[in-house]
Chain A
Amino acid sequence: MTQPPVQAVNLRRMFGDFVAVDNITLSVEKGEVFGFLGPNGAGKTTTVKMLCGLLMPSSGSAQVAGFDIATQPDDVKSSIGYMSQKFSLYSDLTVSENIDFFGNIYGLDNSRLKLRKEEIIKLTGLDGKEHVITSTLSVGWKQRLALGCSVIHEPRILFLDEPTAGVDPDSRRMFWDLIYSLAQKGMTMFVTTHYMDEAENCTRLGFIYNGKMVASGTPLEIKRTRMTGTIIEIDTDAPSDALKLIKPMESMDEVSFFGRLIHAVTTAPAGTADRTIKNIGQLLQQNGITVNRINTIPPSLEDIFISLIKQEDRQGGHQ
């Protein structure tokens, strides 16, 4: 068996007394699109900095592209690519000039640069736009160019930091297709994000909170196994009154408005939802509130992650 492109064992990083990353173990296989998720301050950036050879771990170890991050950080750096939302293209240069610029930074010789430029133009679909000034490109095209520039040196692993944050769904789909095609060619994608729509696009996820890995698996596995409780959606004529009545009910975890609707998250196991629905219906009816609709809904990834965060907060409340 060959070694996975990213492998970390008990990776830990302290800043003074503060544990930013707490014994993280993870491995990412070749060609995977791995989503590394967590809220702000969870330890995502610190972990990525260590994996990129930019920050030494306090303890534990990691190999990236077969190199040790602590003893061979320069080899790590030359084997990876990095792209973020704030990726800086030179807006007054043409598409072709930007590719040249990044090729030179990565030390490509002229013949290899020429070859790679052709490949990248083809890959990103920028054919015919080579001599367009970058500032006049749409956001979607700029992003494709930025991705192209970040893989000019054919890295084995590409780190992407919120690559499509705030981008409209149409451009986002095109960009992700590009990511998948790189992954299919064997490049490993390590995506850091707190956006759930980006998470849905990954083939496997790891969720970090308080420096610890609290869940991992495919999006489907996580949806199937990690949600405790059930979400009940209620459509009534008097949502404000209904909310006040439902909130104090037994086994209610969180009751909140969802537009004109109410979402009630119960702590009760999935099988008992029917009884809870009946109880809510009766309570509202007794108080003269018309219920238009009441049913359970499948949790989104975001619902699950918020539920995981709450579980962690309850367990680690003393910290």
Chain B
Amino acid sequence: MVSVAYVIYVASFITLACTAAVGVYGVLAKRNIIKKIIALTIVGDTANTFAILLGFRVSANVMPPVLPSLNPSKELLTRFAGAAVDPVPQALVITAIVINLAITAFLLFLAVRIYSLYGTLDYGKVIRVRRGELDGEG
């Protein structure tokens, strides 16, 4: 008998794969720079959720990865190791979130600069303007 929790666990991986595909499509195909940045955060958050899910455990008595006592007994340690979720992906994710914040802030700064220099947020137009200028120079 497959448990409901297990079905949800597998279904979330499929959902994440679809979300990642949507995000990558958005970065590559959307011409609006803000939409590109939004798509980028979607991809980043999908990767983060994927990491968290990978460290999760499908079991009845799953525990957070924090030891409840400072001087744990042998039984508590055994129970903890058998039920706690993996803390490593959570450590990875908190690092990745901080980095994504920095990148998003920087990209938004660039979007503001692009708008004030080119008067548009359409990446296709920016490229066309640049190409026209290059031909003019030559």
Whether both chains belong to one complex is answered with no
